[in-house]
Amino acid sequence: MTAPRDNGVSIHAAKPRRRDRDDAPSDVRRRALLYSHDTFGLGHLRRARTIASALTERDPGVAALILTGSPIAGRFDFPDRVDHVRLPGVVKLADGDYASHNLGISIEDTVDLRASIIAATDAAFAPGLLLVDKEAWGFRNEMGDALAAASARGTRVVLGVRDVLDDLPSLAAEWKRKDHADAIRRYFDEIWVYGLPEICRPLDGLGLPDEVLDRVIYTGYLRREAPDWPADVGLAPPDEPYVLVTTGGGGDGEGLIDWTLQAYETDPTLGPHAVIVYGPFLHAERRAEFDRRAHALKGRVSVMSFDSRIERLLSEASGIIAMGGYNTFCEILSLDKPAVISPRIRPRLEQYIRAEAAERLGLARMLHAPRDGYGPEAMIAAIRGLATQPRPSEISIPGLLDGLDRVAERAAAAFDSAARPQARRA
């Protein structure tokens, strides 16, 4: 799994220049390499960008580099000392298999190419911290060579997972099939869970050995802040109260958008104004249909395709209607907004588990069609109820939004340990 790969691809045209590490700056190891497992959607890239930004903001000596296959990575702005390396993209097919996004080569060759780029980046960047997102071996084991090299070099290797992964039977089968526990035993020093056990303990019940579970650290949720509206490009928040409807990337958000439009079409007195953000992956045909329906509502509903700094819209909204992905949930908590979460239940139960826990704790309301009804009346009641719904801040949960502080603290310890390889875990 960690054998050298021969895929016929030359990453360098000539032998790379090698720097004498003895002459390198003292902070050469204060580098973080973040692998973002983003074969679809926006969630993984947005989380990696948030963490990288926090690490560099809190420590001006840190540089962070994100490995991402997201096709829209270039549409995001990155702060000083944060950059990204774009991996060849892959797409998930209707039958559950994967294919190259644009190159027209086999998925096997695509994975070999991605693995070569990952390994070359790790070798050249030589991070003190390697933070792997969600999949311990990476997509189809593409992290194997980099994991072995980084661990041998003395890099601290960390697996980062969101608060909820999936229902236990599905997750147990997936982790067994992908042999994540073996990767963790071999290479990983810690596992950061970006949440709290009050919401979910995502790795419990998987039959993992104590030596793996002992590496788990719950960080709390990753706090988000709303950037300023840029005056020089003519953008501004809507000048009337509004409910923000967001589906994240939008690739699976058609149902929520349709449900919201039905509510406004059915009840001509329904307010406040709705702002719907489709997400960049909504199918063009459905977008055109939704545009027509929104236009027919004569100003009661506004629509937009995508905003890479959606936190601005969230901060000004009077309430949120969302599907309940991890990033949106962090934003709801951070910006203290009354929210209705309508979770998807396929292909994973992640959003449903999170929404159910949030409702149980009083952090948000869940709108689940099998329980609450499929018709527009259920959505009408949910939108009207936002006006009197409690804000998340009314519920006291210690450490709820301490995630970035905890991550920065653990990263600082990782850099210190990487500078002293003899201190690594045996």
Domain of 320, CATH number, reads: 3.40.50.2000
174 and 248 assigned to the same domain: no
pLDDT for the residue numbered 74: 73
- For helices 403-418 and 43-58, what crossing angle results, to 10°? 70
- For helices 43-58 and 326-334, what crossing angle results, to 10°? 50
Query: What is the tens place of the pLDDT at every residue in 197-248?
Result: 999 999 999 989 998 999 999 999 999 988 776 554 445 667 789 999 998 7
132 and 269 assigned to the same domain: no
218 and 256 assigned to the same domain: no
315 and 213 assigned to the same domain: no
Close Cβ partners of 187 (under 8 Å, ≥ 6 residues apart): 147, 148, 150, 151, 157
200 and 116 assigned to the same domain: yes
172 and 40 assigned to the same domain: yes
411 and 379 assigned to the same domain: no
Give me the residues paired with residue 63 across strands: 31
Is pLDDT at 25 greater than 50 in this prediction? no
**Count of the separate structural domains present in the chain:** 2
Buried b / exposed e over 96-109, threshold 16 CB at 10 Å, is eebebeeeeeebee
Query: What is the tens place of the pLDDT at every residue in 171-180?
Result: 999 999 999 9
Q: How far is 340 from 355, CA to CA, in rounded Å?
A: 9
**Domain assignment present for 411:** yes
How many other β-carbons are positioned within 10 Å of the β-carbon of residue 43?
A: 21
**Domain assignment present for 9:** no
205 and 252 assigned to the same domain: no
**Domain assignment present for 11:** no
**Domain assignment present for 6:** no
240 and 313 assigned to the same domain: yes
**Domain assignment present for 264:** yes
**Domain assignment present for 16:** no
Top pLDDT among 281 and 344 is at 344
365 and 261 assigned to the same domain: yes
Determine the Cα angle at 133 with ends 39 and 323, to 5°.
Answer: 65
Domain that holds residue 68: 21-223+402-423
